[in-house]
Structure 1
Amino acid sequence: MKLLILTSRLDYLSENDAEIGDAFRRFGCEVIFGDVNAIGADDYRCFTQGALAPPSGESYYPGSAAPGTRCVYFLDECQLIWVMSEPQDCVARDVWQMLWLASQHTAFVNSIEGMMFLNTKHALGYVLPKKNRASSHISSDFSLLWERYRKASDQWWVAKPPNAFCGQNVFLLPPNGPNARTILQSLTGNTVAQHELGYGLGGFKAKYAILQQFIPEVTQGEKRIIVACGKAVAWHGRQVPPDDHRSNITQGGKPISVELHSGEIELAELSGRKLMAHGINFVGVDMAYPYILEFNVVNPGGLYDERLLSGIKRSDQVAELIIAHFKKYCS
């Protein structure tokens, strides 16, 4: 099998690029690292710039450069493609369109449709039963969110953008919080101020925001669970730093070893199977049982952190499950 891993930087492999690329090499697969922002088409045949990894040799680590000489690789010459990074905004529309066309004749680990429409906080209400998700209100209209907040004056809330990651712009709003109004205005684009200042002529300024019920279970510990082909394969806890409410590793959260009970495994795998129906075969699930807070579809961290904690390469199990799942397409 020839696997193409599409990443954002060939000179700096991400955690999953390194971990999963190594695992597929150990299973005897050819691994190409390709630049997701360099997708092009030669007479409508999609290609990218990339590098073919040697069949064996020392392991890669996050931050290392993709080995080998750079050259052009056509996507239809690969049996499996794994998009491990979203394209840059300025080229994203064209890249997603070309990748979707390529996916009509080449297998993708995670479908283009799934990455476009399910890698967002909007999707929680579709994937999860009500008992496993926090009550949320989504709008680009500040007044609607503000009214929701004021009606529940004794409740804690979380406010955040629906399509941001790594803890960006996630705010904890206490009851009658003195900054709640300005935070919701900021998250929805400060449209009132923009209009009063005469900036309305500059175009549409509104942004979407989520006002979500705060889940007390988060304070007891949030867990990242990696699910491959509907099976929970790796997990770790995330300890909140003392000076923040966010447990994201990028925001100072600390990965810690944890166990999963049967209910957590069942919920993670149930969600994984629901996502598989839409072509999502690898996902990171953020859970504070019995709630799921987020799905991370494109490049969820967790495998590398879990290996550092346990010393076990769970990426081998991921590769084995993915290869078995796509065997019928890649034979």
Structure 2
Amino acid sequence: MRLLILTNRPDCLGENDVPISNAFRRSGWEVVFGEITAIGADDYRFFTRGVLVQASGEPYGLGAAAQGIQGVYFFDECQIVWVNCGAPPSIAHDVWQLLWLASQDTAFVNSIEGTMFLETKHSLGHVVPKENRAFAYTSNEFSLLWECYRQSSHLWWVAKPPGAYCGQNVFLLPPNGPNVRAILQCLTGNADAQSEFGGLTERESLITQRRAGYGPGGLKAQYAVLQQFIPEVGKGEKRIIVACGEAVAWHGREKSADDHRSNIAQGARPIPVDLNSAEIELAELIGRKLMKHGINFVGIDMAYPYIIDLNLTNPGGIYDAKLASGMDRSDRVAELMISRFVGSGET
């Protein structure tokens, strides 16, 4: 049996590459670490360049280089494909198209269409019950978001791009904040300011602004989410890994004193926490909903009773949960995936 893990760099394995590959190898599987940037097709049969690692051998540690047979490996020679990274923007469109085509003949842990359409903050309204999500506005028009804020400017808000990772460009907006207008302009692409360039008359500029933020170089508007701040976040967020609808690993995130964000990438650190029955029930409810869209592995950010975010591509959690608690839950993840896609008696 063979697992294909698509990653950025087989010579520097990441926080999901390591525990997942080690667990599958302990189950007797070969693992191919394939390069996400090297996907191609031979007469419409899809392959990637990578490194084949045998089941036997020492387990890998974070940042290690995959040691094995370098070569070209076809997707249809693998029983399961696990996408552990995104593609660079310059080739992302082609990569996701090629992956979707490959997924028609080979099992993917997370479906390509589910990943593409649900790994965004837009999707919370689709899979998270209304009582478990914060009220939010979404638009690419600065004026709309600015007016929404002004109508409730006595409240705290959070503004962020719908598809950013690791806490990038997430702003905490205080009541009557002096920089809120500038922040919302920035997040929506400064479309109004862009339309002022190019020698436009005042009338032409006004018309341009009304055309959804078009400037001299084309559409400049960008989408942003304006979300009511959840006080529960101040008590701490939890990252919960759900595999095949089962909550398998979790940890808390203690943010640094000089930042409102609790992302590990922004200086927060993983800490041991417990989950109560209500938290487990909510996480597994969302996991089951996502499975209907082909999503079998997700990292859920929760400040109960609220869901903050869903992470579908390479969500950290297994590695950090082990750091925090000392418990390695990767074998359970592998067991669930093998049972779902192959059958427990065929390994």
TM > 0.5 fold call: yes
Measure the CA separation in 1 of the matches of 2:193 and 2:70: 49
> Could you tell me whether the CA contact under 8 Å between 2:297 and 2:312 is conserved in 1?
yes
Equivalent of 1:226 in 227, 237, 241: 241
Match of 2:276 among 238, 261, 267: 261
Q: Distance in 1 between matches of 2:118 and 2:215?
A: 32
- Alignment pair present for 1:300 and 2:306: no
The corresponding residue for 1:35 is: 35
Larger Rg: 2
Provide the C-alpha distance between the structure 2 equivalents of 1:76 and 1:329, rounded to a whole number of angstroms.
20
Alpha-carbon distance in structure 1 between the residues aligned to 2:190 and 2:22:
46
Residue 187 of structure 1 corresponds to which residue in structure 2? Answer: 187
Question: Within 2, Cα distance between the matches of 1:168 and 1:132?
Answer: 23
* Partners of 1:39 and 1:46 within 8 A in 2: yes
In structure 2, how many angstroms separate the alpha carbons of the residues matched to 1:40 and 1:330? 33
Q: Does structure 2 retain, via aligned residues, the 8 Å contact 1:107–1:329?
A: no
Contact 2:270 2:323 in 1 (8 A): no
Q: Which sections of structure 1, spanning at least 5 residues, go unmatched?
A: none
Contact 2:53 2:69 in 1 (8 A): no
Q: Could you tell me which residue of structure 2 aligns to residue 159 of structure 1?
A: 159
Distance 2:57 2:130 in 1: 48
Aligned-pair identity (%): 67
1:328 CA displacement:
4.8
CA drift of 1:54 comes to 2.5
Distance in 2 (alpha carbons) for counterparts of 1:75 and 1:283:
22
Give the deviation of 1:57 after TM superposition.
1.7
Q: CA deviation at 1:329?
A: 11
Match of 2:301 in 1: 286
Superposed displacement of residue 241, structure 1 = 0.8
The TM-score normalised by the length of structure 1 is 0.98
Cα distance, 1:311 vs. partner? 2.0
Q: Is the 8 A contact 1:159 1:170 kept in 2?
A: yes
2:254 is the counterpart of 1:250: no
**Cα contact 2:109–2:337 (8 A) shared by 1:** yes
The answer (yes or no) to whether the contact 2:197–2:216 under 8 Å persists in 1 is: no
**TM-score, scaled relative to structure 2:** 0.93
How many residues get paired? 331
Q: What secondary structure is seen at the aligned counterpart in 1 of 2:178?
A: coil
Partner of 1:300: helix, strand, or coil? coil
CA RMSD of aligned residues (A): 1.3
Deviations 1:77-102 (A, max 9, x none): 11111111111111111111111111
The answer on whether the counterparts of 1:79 and 1:330 sit within 8 Å (CA) in structure 2 is no
Give secondary structure in 2 for the equivalent of 1:15. Answer: coil
Aligned equivalent of 1:58 = 58
The 1-side partners of 2:285 and 2:325 are apart by: 25
Counterpart of 1:171 in structure 2 is 171
Question: Aligned partners of 1:26, 1:316: CA distance in 2, in Å?
Answer: 8
Distance 2:225 2:253 in 1: 23
Structure 2: runs of 5+ lacking an equivalent: 199-213
